[in-house]
């Protein structure tokens, strides 16, 4: 650890990992409710568990990004974080908000209260007071890291990271605008949901991957920067108007059919770019970095993001196809692999890189960490295939042949059983990951032939 204030990241990463465990366990519970629909239906209904699953996902990913910024920026800017105290205050606000959310959802508190009760829109269900807390925490965070960057060395990585994080923060403000017209509601809802994962978060992903490649492969900074700018340019060019792929059938003007189809099809380019970038860097790199687990997660991230977001996204993005597949299990298949490949794996890559450094035991427990990669990646890939099959059957039976929704669901039971099975692998993988980074055990894997002990 080069800078003392980087240790802030350790606390952020630890809270993020705890929520990660909650998130995947919630997923497993949802998977079980799908095959056994009355399970806990009185005390913990499906819709509540679903909110906990998706919201905890977003919160832990955000905490991971923030921790990553606190880790990356000191090294890039060559100075300590402006105010470690503010970083911890900010974390306390986030933790308080998260606890508030969980209690409000579980006990259905303050139903209908505009300030204290939960709101209805997917991913943005948190009560208004929690949303305000998120904005305060995000502004403290942005102030803290912007001051650090402004007073230190500016690199392409810090610039892109900052741009992504500012974009993320400002776009969240649309979460407060909730018009009663359903078409307008959806229009602005996607400003947060789509422009996050297919815009600003991509910038964060590209800059953190660039940082990892710089450290793990030892290629020249100039080469990394050229790739980074190319990825950022294609991401923003395609992703902003790509929002149109959510505007097909919600009451927006017809030209969105074409704008959405064309620009969102181009969204495959930055994801392909990130995959090509990662592999070319490893291939060109001169360094044989001992942290193989971090490298595996980085390459896995770029690859699975390309398939989950790029390929599985493209699969249903053209309006003629989306007309049939909209809101089926195809969407769930894509949502899972895209989130896992891009943002879960990105976080686990930087955690794998940073944890041993932060705990001054570099590197350790790599074999277990790598096993956890294959368990989780294998589980999520299998889940994606299963849901894709389910979605294909569903699209045909429900949308082409016009069968009833619940009749079709009954026919899909076998797929839902298999999804539950893959969920077990993912949860075990997540627990193994946590064990691997939490329980230090020094162990070096060398690519070169073993030298006999002295
Ligand atoms: C890190 C891994 C995971 C990520 C990133 C993730 C992400 C998501 C997202 C984004 C949604 C909302 C999907 C949409 O609206 O299309 C969702 C819903 C869901 N997830 Fe996960 N999830 C993960 C793990 C799991 C696991 C292990 C299971 C277990 C079987 C699971 C089961 C479900 C179920 C059943 C739903 C509700 C789908 C529906 O409403 O039909 N997830 N998840
Ligand atoms: C890492 C990046 C991405 C993530 C995390 C992601 C995640 C998601 C999620 C969770 C949904 C379901 C939203 C909901 O209705 O609740 C969704 C929908 C969708 N995504 Fe993505 N996505 C990503 C990138 C892409 C890309 C690059 C494309 C196109 C090439 C794409 C195409 C779509 C389409 C067309 C839908 C609407 C599906 C429907 O009509 O039901 N996504 N995405
Ligand atoms: Fe989108």
The pLDDT tens digits for 7-34 are 999 999 999 999 999 999 999 999 999 9
Per-residue pLDDT at 452: 44
**Distance from Cα 131 to the centre of ligand 3, integer Å:** 22
Ligand that lies nearest to the alpha carbon of residue 201, given by its number in the listed order: 2
Per-residue pLDDT at 98: 98
pLDDT for 403-438, tens place per residue? 999 999 999 999 999 999 999 999 999 999 999 999
The atom of ligand 1 lying closest to the CA of 419 is 30
Predicted ipTM? 0.98
pLDDT for 135-145, tens place per residue? 999 999 999 99
Residue burial 128-157, b: 16+ Cβ < 10 Å; e: rest: bbbbebbbebbebbbebbbebbeebeebbb
**Distance from Cα 31 to the centre of ligand 1, integer Å:** 8
- Reported confidence tier of residue 446, pLDDT bands at 50, 70, 90: low
Among 260, 271, 317, 387, name the best residue to mutate to test ligand 2's pocket (greatest count of ligand atoms within 8 A of Cβ): 317
pLDDT for 241-279, tens place per residue? 999 999 999 999 999 999 999 999 999 999 999 999 999
Q: Whose CA is nearest to atom 5 of ligand 2?
A: 339
- Percentage of the chain exceeding pLDDT 70: 97
From CA 365, how far away is CA 71, in angstroms rounded?
21
Q: Whose CA is nearest to atom 20 of ligand 2?
A: 313
Q: Whose CA is nearest to atom 10 of ligand 2?
A: 335
- Reported confidence tier of residue 442, pLDDT bands at 50, 70, 90: low
Per-residue pLDDT at 450: 44
The atom of ligand 1 lying closest to the CA of 426 is 27
pLDDT for 329-346, tens place per residue? 999 999 999 999 999 999
* 3-state SS assignment for residue 327: coil
**Greatest extent of the chain over all pairs of C-alpha atoms, in Å:** 75
Ligand that lies nearest to the alpha carbon of residue 333, given by its number in the listed order: 1
**Distance from Cα 246 to the centre of ligand 2, integer Å:** 9
From CA 438, how far away is CA 409, in angstroms rounded?
41
Q: Tell me how far the alpha carbon of residue 395 is from its chain's centroid.
A: 27
Per-residue pLDDT at 38: 96
**Distance from Cα 88 to the centre of ligand 1, integer Å:** 30
| CA pseudo-torsion sign 296, 221, 168, 153 | positive
**Mean per-residue pLDDT, 30-46:** 96
From CA 379, how far away is CA 428, in angstroms rounded?
10
Tokens of 23: 């998130």
Per-residue pLDDT at 383: 98
Q: Whose CA is nearest to atom 19 of ligand 1?
A: 27
What average pLDDT does the chain have?
95
Backbone dihedral angles phi then psi of residue 108, each to the nearest 5 degrees: 50, 50
**Distance from Cα 124 to the centre of ligand 2, integer Å:** 16
**Mean per-residue pLDDT, 315-333:** 98
Q: From 297, 431, 310, select the one nearest 352 (Cα to Cα).
A: 297
**Distance from Cα 331 to the centre of ligand 2, integer Å:** 7
Contact by Cβ (8 Å): 78, 44: no
Q: How many Cα neighbours within 13 Å face the side chain of 337?
A: 32
Q: Which residue has the higher pLDDT, 75 or 362?
A: 75
pLDDT for 205-222, tens place per residue? 999 999 999 999 999 999
DSSP 364: B
Tokens of 262: 């064309």
DSSP 82: S
Per-residue pLDDT at 364: 76
- Reported confidence tier of residue 449, pLDDT bands at 50, 70, 90: very low
**Distance from Cα 339 to the centre of ligand 3, integer Å:** 12
From CA 84, how far away is CA 90, in angstroms rounded?
10
- Reported confidence tier of residue 445, pLDDT bands at 50, 70, 90: low
Among 121, 328, 338, name the best residue to mutate to test ligand 2's pocket (greatest count of ligand atoms within 8 A of Cβ): 338
Per-residue pLDDT at 1: 87
Contact by Cβ (8 Å): 372, 432: yes
Per-residue pLDDT at 444: 58
Tokens of 318: 């053209």
From CA 186, how far away is CA 402, in angstroms rounded?
26
Q: From 19, 21, 11, select the one nearest 429 (Cα to Cα).
A: 21
CB under 6 Å to ligand 2: residues?
122, 197-198, 245-246, 264, 267-268, 305, 309-310, 313-314, 316-317, 322, 326-327, 331, 334-335, 338-339, 342
Q: Whose CA is nearest to atom 15 of ligand 2?
A: 327
Contact by Cβ (8 Å): 142, 90: no
Q: From 390, 383, 369, select the one nearest 304 (Cα to Cα).
A: 383
Sequence-distant (6+) residues with CB within 8 A of 119 are: 125, 126, 127, 128, 178
């Amino acid at each position: 650890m080069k800078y003392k204030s980087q240790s802030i990241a350790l606390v952020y990463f630890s809270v993020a990992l705890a929520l990660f465990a909650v998130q995947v366990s919630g997923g497993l519970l949802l998977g079980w409710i799908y095959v056994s629909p009355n399970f806990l239906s009185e005390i913990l209904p499906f819709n509540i568990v679903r909110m906990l699953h998706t919201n905890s996902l977003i919160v832990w990913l955000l905490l991971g990004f923030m921790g990553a910024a606190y880790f990356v920026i000191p090294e890039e800017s060559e100075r300590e974080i402006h105010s470690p105290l503010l970083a911890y205050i900010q974390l306390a606000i986030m933790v308080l908000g998260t606890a508030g959310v969980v209690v409000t959802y579980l006990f259905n508190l303050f139903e209908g209260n505009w300030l204290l009760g939960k709101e209805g829109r997917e991913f943005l269900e948190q009560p208004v007071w929690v949303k305000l807390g998120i904005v305060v925490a995000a502004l403290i965070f942005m102030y803290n890291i912007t001051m650090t960057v402004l007073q230190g060395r500016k690199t392409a990585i810090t610039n892109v990271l900052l741009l992504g994080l500012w974009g993320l923060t400002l776009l969240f403000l649309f979460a407060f605008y909730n018009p009663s017209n359903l078409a307008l509601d959806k229009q602005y809802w996607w400003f947060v949901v789509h422009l996050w994962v297919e815009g600003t978060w991509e910038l964060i992903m590209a800059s953190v991957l660039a940082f990892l490649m710089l450290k793990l492969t030892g290629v020249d900074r100039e080469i990394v920067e050229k790739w980074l700018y190319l990825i950022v340019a294609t991401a923003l060019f395609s992703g902003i108007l790509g929002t149109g792929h959510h505007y097909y059938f919600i009451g927006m003007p017809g030209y969105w059919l074409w704008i959405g189809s064309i620009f969102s099809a181009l969204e495959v380019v930055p994801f392909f770019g990130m995959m090509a970038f990662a592999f070319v860097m490893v291939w060109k790199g001169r360094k044989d970095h001992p942290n193989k687990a971090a490298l595996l997660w980085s390459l896995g991230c770029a690859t699975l993001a390309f398939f989950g977001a790029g390929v599985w996204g493209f699969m249903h993005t053209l309006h003629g196809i989306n007309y049939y597949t909209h809101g089926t299990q195809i969407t769930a298949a894509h949502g899972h692999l895209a989130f896992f490949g891009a943002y879960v794996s990105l976080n686990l890559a930087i955690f794998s890189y940073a944890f041993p450094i932060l705990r001054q035991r570099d590197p350790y427990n790599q074999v277990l960490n790598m096993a956890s990669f294959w368990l989780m990646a294998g589980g999520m890939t299998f889940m994606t295939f299963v849901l894709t099959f389910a979605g294909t059957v569903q699209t045909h039976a429900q949308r082409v042949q016009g069968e009833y929704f619940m009749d079709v669901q009954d026919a899909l039971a076998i797929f839902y059983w298999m999804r539950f099975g893959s969920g077990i692998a993912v949860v075990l993988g997540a627990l193994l990951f946590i064990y691997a980074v939490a329980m230090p055990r020094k162990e070096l894997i060398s690519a070169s032939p073993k030298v006999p002990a002295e």
